[in-house]
Structure formats: C-alpha cells, structure tokens
C-alpha cells in the first residue's frame, strides 16, 4: 500500500525517534525534547501565543504536539517528565497519528 508522507508526518516521526531515545535514558535527546515540550505546554496553557514563540524551524512541530497531546500537556510537568510520562505522550501521538492515517 502506498502512503503519502507530509512534512508534518516526517517531523512527528523525527520527534518520535528523539522521544524514544529520551525514554531510553539518553540525556542529550531529553535535552532536545524538553524545551519543545515546554513550548508546547506554554501554548496549551495559553501562557504564550504562537507569535511569542521563537520562529525556529520546530515551530510547526510545537504546534502539532499541542494539537496531538493538548490534555497531556495540561496535566504533566514537562520540565520534569518521567519516562512513564514520555511513554504516555508517545502512545498518544502514535494513536492519533495512526487514526489520522486510516
């Protein structure tokens, strides 16, 4: 079966690979994932608007994380997210991504 992959799909897959490495204990990946989650949480909690976030290439990814895991972002302290929390996030993202692909 042929599947199309949008740039957002590729960004989510890339983020997911970083998330997997962070869950597996790689601190340098956790140091990359955490600021992205903090920005997504700022959006979810309405502490910041899209216009207040840095205009880095990851802006689309930050918005996508907020869209895919909004409720999770509201309940978890992402600055100190445990491996269990990150696995839950990964499951949420994969479930919603798989639903969208169907």
Which one, of 94, 71, 90, 92, lies nearest residue 82 by Cα?
A: 90
Average pLDDT of the chain to the nearest whole number:
88
CA 2 vs CA 5, 96, 101: distances in Å: 10, 20, 11
Residue that wins the pLDDT comparison between 80 and 96? 80
Distance, CA of 82 to CA of 42 (rounded, Å):
19
Please give the pLDDT value at position 47. 96
Domain boundaries, the chain: 7-97
> If you search the block for the tokens 């990964």, which residue do you land on?
90
Confidence check: pLDDT of 102 > 50: no
Mind listing the pLDDT tens digit for each residue in 9-35?
A: 888 899 999 999 999 999 999 999 999
Q: How confident is the model at residue 2 (pLDDT cuts 50, 70, 90)?
A: very low
Which one, of 14, 18, 28, lies nearest residue 86 by Cα?
A: 18
């Amino acid at each position: 079966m042929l599947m199309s992959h949008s740039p957002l799909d590729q960004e989510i897959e890339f983020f997911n690979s970083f998330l997997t490495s962070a869950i597996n204990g790689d601190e340098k990946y956790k140091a990359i994932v955490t600021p992205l989650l903090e920005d997504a949480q700022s959006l979810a909690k309405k502490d910041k608007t899209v216009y207040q976030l840095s205009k880095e290439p990851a802006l689309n990814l930050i918005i996508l994380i907020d869209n895919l895991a909004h409720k999770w972002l509201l309940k978890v302290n992402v600055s100190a997210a445990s491996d269990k929390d990150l696995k839950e996030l990964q499951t949420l993202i994969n479930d919603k991504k798989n639903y969208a692909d169907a």
